[in-house]
Structure 1
Amino acid sequence: MRAVCIANDPKGLADHQQSRAIAIESSYPLTVGKAYAVVGMTIAERAFYLLVRDDSGGPCFAHAGFFELFVAPLPAGWRFGLEAGIRASGRDLWSEPSVATWGYPELVEDPAHVQALLEFEPSALALFESYVAEAEGD
């Protein structure tokens, strides 16, 4: 599945697409007009994100509002997980922000994998890269 970038500044998103971190977010390393392989999706708080490899080569949970609208079948092998954030409210949402995740098995089934990606742990990055390469080959 691929998504074409149409924006990269979160301050330009509609209010309902912004996370509570909007005050400290800056432009994402994404190129407007470029197509990105999507290897996962998540809803955290009230925002919807696509997991792509950004222009610096790392994993990036980019706001779905940064991409053109598209319809695509879910890739073979993807999983879906409904997470604790679906029940969280108020302050609880800060500690359990993830509502739902779609994507490759480890992204959905291993709670430590997302944190490992965000911390650029080599084993998590290697796994991420293997799924990006597979998605780009489609």
Structure 2
Amino acid sequence: MKLTAIGDSGADLPDGARSAYHSHEMTRYRLVVGRTYSPFAMALIRQMGLKVLILDESGRPNWLPLPLFAVNGHSLPDSWLFAVTEVLNAPAVAAIWGYRDLVMDPAHFEALIERKLEAWEAFLDAADGRSDLEPHERDAVSVARAEVEKSRQSHHDSRP
């Protein structure tokens, strides 16, 4: 499955979806309309609908409303797992599909949103395991790996 961005703002969401996705017409998403993205996960959010986890133009994983994309293909990555779940500190998450750490570790969902280094590394490990990434996503993963290594090194260097 691939996703092609068909919108990059709250105004591009279907009628009624803006409030469901806690968005408004002025909300901007870091997407390039017409660009193809690889989903890393999907989550069914109560009273909202499906959100997809992608590497957006910020170079970071972000959860975005599925209606911003046209879905291309019908198969999910072989490595994905699925769980009906109550995610730690995110009770609105009813079900989740995606890479192992996200599905099997309830704390990982929140840690990824909070940009915790260990969660970012687990996400990058999952990305490294994908052979179907777009060139811009491969580049973003490489840049992110370098940032993580730099962050780890500076943390290590600051210890007494």
Query: Is this a same-fold pair by TM over 0.5?
Result: yes
Q: Does 1:58 align with 2:57?
A: no
Q: Which of 1 and 2 has greater Rg?
A: 2
SS of the residue 2:95 aligns to: strand
Q: Is the CA contact 1:13–1:65 (under 8 Å) kept in the aligned structure 2?
A: yes
Q: Is the CA contact 1:17–1:48 (under 8 Å) kept in the aligned structure 2?
A: no
Size of the alignment, in residue pairs?
Answer: 129
Q: Structure 1 CA distance, aligned partners of 2:86 and 2:116?
A: 24
What is the RMSD computed on CA atoms of the aligned residues? 2.4
Q: Structure 2 CA distance, aligned partners of 1:109 and 1:21?
A: 27
Q: Is the CA contact 2:83–2:97 (under 8 Å) kept in the aligned structure 1?
A: yes
Structure scoring higher RCO (CA < 8 A, sep ≥ 6) equals 1
SS of the residue 2:123 aligns to: helix
Structure 2 residue runs of 5 or longer lacking an equivalent are 133-160
The runs of 4+ residues in structure 1 deviating greater than 3 Å are 15-18
Match of 1:43 in 2: 44
Structure 1 residue runs of 5 or longer lacking an equivalent are 86-93
Q: Is the CA contact 1:29–1:55 (under 8 Å) kept in the aligned structure 2?
A: yes
Give the share of equivalent positions with the same residue, in percent.
28
**Offset of 1:30 from its aligned partner?**
1.0
Distance 1:11 1:104, change over 3 A: same
Q: TM-score when scaled to structure 1? A: 0.81
Q: Structure 2 CA distance, aligned partners of 1:133 and 1:72?
A: 22
Deviations 1:30-70 (A, max 9, x none): 11111111110011123211110111111111111111133
